[in-house]
Structure 1
Amino acid sequence: MNRNKKILNATMAAGMAAALGTTPILAATQDTENAVSKEETVYVNATAEGEVKDITVSDWLKNSGSADGDVSDVSDLEGIKNVKGDETFTQDGENVTWNTDSSDIYYQGTSNKELPVDMKIKYYLDDQEITPDELAGKSGHLRMEVSYTNKSKKTVKVDNKNVEVYSPFVMVTGMILSSDNFSNVTIDNGKVISDGDKEMVVGVAVPGLKDSLDLNDDLSDKIDIPEGFTMEADVTDCTMGNTFTMAVTDLLSSLDLENSEDLDDLQDSLDELDDAAVKLVDGSKDLFDGTKDLYDGTKDLYDGTKTLYDGTKDLYDGTKDLKDGTKELYDGSKELDDGARDLANGTKTLYDGSKDLDDGAAELADGAKTLNTGAGQLYSGTNSLYSGTKNLYDGTRTLYGGTSTLASSYNEFDAGVASAKSGASQLNSGAKSLQSGVQQYTSGVASLADGVQSYTAGVDTVNSNLTEYNKGMQQLTDGVNQYVAGGNQLADGVTSYVNGATQLTDGVSTYVTGASTLAEGTKAYVEGTTALVEGVGQLAPGIDEAAAGISKAATQLAEVAVNVEKAQPDQMVASLNTYVDGADKLADGATQYVAKVGEAADGAQSVADGAKSLADGTAAVATGAAQVRDGLGSLKTGTSDAIKQISSTASEAMNSYADQISAAAANIQTSVEAQSAGVSTSTASGEISAVSSSVGSAIASLESIDTSALDENTAALINSALGQLYSSADNASAAQGELSNIEAQSQVSVTAETNGDDIKATLNALASGLYDTAGKVTSAGEYSVSTLEGETDKLISGASSVADGASSAASGASTLSTGVSNLNSGLAQLKEAGNSQLVTGAAQLKKGGTQVRESLTAVSSLVAGLGDISTMTDDVNKLVEGSKQISAGNEQLQAGYKQLTETGAAEQLTAGADELLKNKDTITNGITALQGKDNANANALLDGATTLKSAKSSLDSGLSSISQATGQLVTGVGTIAANSVALRSGANQLTSNSASLNSGAAQLTAGTSDLVSGAGTLVAASGQVKAGIAQLKSGAADLRDGASQLRSGANSVNNGMRDLKNGTSDLASGANTLKDGTSSLKSGAKELNDGAKTLKSGTSSLKSGAKTLDSGASDLKSGAKDLKDGAKDLKDGAKELNDGAKDLKDGAEELKDGEKEFYDEGIKKLKDTMEDDFQSVLDRLEALQSDDAAYTSFTGLDDSMSGNVKFIIETEGFDDGSED
């Protein structure tokens, strides 16, 4: 069941209960004020068609609590129970006795008796009878017929005759219908009340009364006493809740028919009453017609004054907003003027900075050009170095050929060994010669000791210089780090500069667009101002004429009652038309002006964004340029020191190695000579092996460095040092081999001397090459330092100029940003505040004008309907005074506009706008030159910045490798230094053993037989000699391969220098492009400054004109207020007059309707009834009021009680089973 229906049912039930509660109770014929009476309510539950299902009766024995003793009652109810107390009862059939216990009795029971009135409900859908179940959920036109049948007949006396009548019942049925399902609800006997959501239907019937009164045919036709009712409606998805029907029995109890006068007197009175009623009806109609005409006239009067007041109110609101807008306009024009001044100052600073930037770019281009030249010279030097390494490689190939010759001479050596063995017997005779040779050997040992001292001294020198070398490497590392940091800063600065330049380009482009918009808006503003002044000029005379017309009308108000036409309303109408036309022009001009100011404000915002980006970009360029300048200084110091240290260390090391090789050559010659005399050189061979091992460690360290990740100069120095170490290692290896040869050929003096001369020549050639390379390294280092310092100084100078120029440009850009911001603020204030008020004021002004125009017809009616309106004189005077103030304000406005035109401010604004448009192309061209074609300049700078940043990882890797190699080099030199002590010790031992050797020589002479035996051993060892020669040949091959690698490294250095030269050439080209761009920037900045000056001149004139406009708007606002106040007083008076007329009309209408109804329904029907069969009706009514006809109880009533009964019948609802 629909939940909403339950709520509606409860509401209906409550209404029924309230109605029943107010129903009067039929009094008993005897005095029963304190007697026990029976109040009975019968509750009936029925089907939707009215068929009774069950009956429950509630009885109240009223006043039973005050009765003495028990109370007797009669009831045919079943299942009687006390529902309110604990009182008990006894029952004998229908007789019930209650023990009241001083309380009224309330009891309840059920019944199956027939009701005194039957209720039947029939349903018809589209004129076809249908059951409720079938109707549920259907749609169509519903007709619901409710009929009542009175079955309670009584016999009464009427005119001394027994007559059957029906007990009087009034049946009231109520139902609540949802508007979702029911529409167009009607009822023939009842009432339909709708609240939008639901339809409340009440049907009324008095079944049996018409038969009881026995009305004749004529009276029966005139008096409709319903026996039921019919409700009709259009239904959709029909559903219906419960209906409630109340039946009451005391319909006629309130009629008092016993005090009627004589029938003849009553008839005469009715005739007089009828005549008077007719006259009263006619008079009330005439009264209503007159008051209606009066109300219509006052309504027209009020409508006209209301329209007039609304127009003047809108006029005042418009002028108020106009005043606010002109004040905002003046304030904004001041802000605009200040912003233009700041803009001019900022563009001047920008221009100064762009000149400095252009000068710095020129110096940078010159420095890059010189750097390119130096790189070319450095490349020439590395090319010569590469040629030297080729010669070195050729020398090693010759050395390798010598070892091959030595190997081929081995057979001769072997034959010599055989000869030595066969000639051992001859050694004895040469013992004295051997002794002499020993003496020479000891002398050679002394020379070898001196050579060892020189060698170890050279090692000490290298060791002592390692500290300085380490310092140089540290400076190199610091310089590279600073160079990387500076390069990164330069790259960031260049990126920021390019971004700033791009933003500048975008900002200036937007500025150009905004400037064009501003120029067009300025022109429109001038035109709008002209239209505004002209509109106000047309408005003011119209107001004056209107005021004159109103004043003239006021003087004639006293004569209006005699001759309304003398008021001459046409003059006021014409004046108001003039006012409306002027207001329209004023509103249109203000709207056009506001639109142009909005466009200018949008353009200025873009300029502000571009100026800020320019300021940020130039500031970043200034910071980056300063950092590059500082980084170049550090790089200059660190790189110069590093190059000096590296070239010095490498040169010293090469010279030292050359000295050692020269000494070794001499020593080897001596050793060969000594060896030919049979002296052992094993100690010298061990020391040279230790030196060779240390040099090999140093070579391994430097070879681990990835020179491709370093800059060309650093890589060239490392490769040069590595080449010298290769030579040192090869020389040591060669010396070791020669010593082995000397030892192996100790018995073949002729061959040894020959090979020793070849080795000496080779070593001397290597020493000479090292001396030459050392000189070149020194010269290249000095030239590199000189060139680097000179070119770095130029770069520093150029970077300083760029930093200074960028700083000036940043300052100018900042000032420009401030100026543009002020300009934007002023325009925004105009747009957001003043413009908004101007638009609102213009709209209200136009609306007011429209209302005034629409009210002209009403004003004519107003004049026609004028009564005694002498009180309007004061208001008219106020209007006249207001019009005078408006006229004075217009004069000031016109004077201000005249001053604006005479000073040429409008022309200046227009000229400034034209100048802005003229400079647009110049600024655009300057930006194009700055960025280059298709942003070529910006892209080149960004590519260079990216390359600078990408070099950081390579430099870091190179520094790490250098650091690692340096550590290994230090370790190797330390080992060499440690071995120098042993080497010197060995030399000392050789020297100290010379005496013993001389002594041994004497003993050798005596032991020649042992020597013969040793010669045999020598033959056996010839295989070892052969192996040594093979090792010598292998070492020579390694030396040749090392020279080849040196040549390859020199070639890489040469190629790197070539790339460096190409890079400096690109740098010079980029610097020239930058120079061209800064020149264009300077030109564009100058044109921007010139345009800003012109804009400043125009904004000054704009401010002056805005001030004059604000003053005129103030006067206009004051006059409009006075006009509005006067119109309001007039409207208030007309409203009071109209209200009074309306009350009078309403009262007259109610009187007319009431008199007509009183006559038709009362007097006329009463007279007709009296004339026909009124006495018979009265008799029957008296009979129906009697106790004999009354229905007082449904269940039974004791003779000692009076009673009253009412019925409530609830029928079931029905629906389609769905829930809401």
Structure 2
Amino acid sequence: MNIKKILFVLAAVLLVLPSLLVTASTNDGKSTEAATKKDGKVSSKDEVVYATFNANGNTQNIYVVNTLDVSQAGQVADYGNYSNLKNLTDDSELKQSGKKVNVAAPEGKFYYQGNLDNQQLPWNFSISYYLDGKEIAPKELTGKNGHVEVRIKTSANEAGNTAFFENYLLQISLTLDSEVYSKIKTEEGTIANAGKNKQVTFTVMPEKEGEFKVEADVVDFELNGIEITGVPSNMSIDEPDVDEMTGDMKSLTGAIADLNNGVSKLNNNVASFEKGASELKSGSAQYKNGLAGLSGSSSELVNGSNEMKQALKKMSNSIDGEEEIDLSKLGEMTKGLSQISGGLRETAKGLTTLKDNYTKAYSALDQAMNDIPSNDISEEDIEKLYNSGADEKTIKQLVDTYTAARKATGTYNEVKQAFDSVGGTLEGVVTSLQDMADNIDTMAAKVSSSIESLDVSEGIAQLQEGLTALSNNYNTFHSGLLEYTNGVSQLSGSYQDIHNGIGGLADGAEKLEDGVGELHTGTSKLHESTKDLPKQMTKEIDEMMSEYDKSDFEAVSFVSAKNKNVNSVQFVLKTESIKHEEPESKEKPTKKETGFWARLKDLFT
């Protein structure tokens, strides 16, 4: 020690020693005297519980450092089932009677330690170690290399005081030397730098059990003791401002309500669409059957017309050859023309009925298709709906129905022009048939009139001329009739595809109605379950906050329920370190000096 340091120590001694002597004599005299003559008062008490574990988490030793805040010097009592006591304040003796500790305490803070043999901690701890995937004893792990896992479990100790388990949080810390550990990983905790070391920390909330794991690559394994602290979770937690969140939830519930209303309208429109499609299918079936019947009778109509053409030709040739003329055949001809005219009119009547039914069904279909909303829903909107937390099955039904509806309207718009032309085509066919019937009626009337006014002796030439003209004109009519029957046959054959398409449309409309009905049921349930979502969310937050807000917890003593005015209780726990065992030294350890002078000397060395 150099001269300056010696002078500094002597100066400090000269400055401190008088006050220490005065204070010591004053305290030892007045306080001890006061403490032995009257009862003292303790305004509050603090307890710090220290415990050591072996490397696997089994308890080895427990002791408590008690701090009594003595507001009035004198005899005070404290309680605890201690196996050994140590005064940490002064040299006065502590007296123990059963679970009662008697102290002659001066005013101020009084510290003493009590060791516990049979006390139970509020928590159970289990610590296990794994090397390269296989469990290994801590002592066998010392000095090993490889991939190490440390697994820690905490649970409630039913034999301990559950008030601490319910209201205290645990913080578990491992300090890992960076020269020994690398590639440190954990999912449940946090990793922070602590000088050249890494500190891994886990937290266990009140009323919760914990299960944690930290893993790393290790060289020459060693581990400092795992530190565990238990402190009251008595901080008051401010309730978060949920106005913005509830506002968003209200927007969501409003959107779901609008969605439900829209699906309800869609359901009604699809029902109308399905009804119109069903009526169209029925009318199309009638139209198809009528075409088939008309096509089937075309051969009879052509054969009759062909016979009529041959008869006219024969009559014309007979008169030209001055053969005997059977005028009764002319009467049969007028009768046949009238029958042809009647058949054409019946056909025209059937097609008129078909046209009316088709027009009605098509009008209903067109109205239903136009009632389907044309809203465009983007992929982004659909993604938001999936992320809203709504039932995914219901959302999928909604999206599928929306897609089917869009496809149906697209298909309908593509074939609408063909549907529009059917009515006009039927109207044209009916008009042509009626014109043909009128022409045949006119032809029959003229033939009948000619027969009645016929003068055989004088009108043979005139009759021959008329029959020749009739025969020639009838050839033109017969050619037109062939074209008509061929057209009817082609229409009957090709309309089957149209009818199949209409049938598919009707079946699809029925399935669409069922799907939209299920969708409406789903959106109704979704709306019902989410309409109070803001209130439900606020309630859940309140319950969560109350679960972790332990600010109303009043401290209780760890060592005895008889101790009152307990201010705080803390737990400081630690496992033994896993290190290479050092050989015991044969030299006797030097006895460390104690007392004021030793403490003063330590300050300057």
Give TM class, smaller chain.
Answer: 0.3 to 0.5
TM-score, scaled relative to structure 1: 0.20
Q: Higher helix share goes to which structure?
A: 1
Larger relative contact order (C-alpha < 8 A, sep ≥ 6)?
1
Greater Rg by CA: 1
Q: TM-score, normalised by structure 2?
A: 0.38
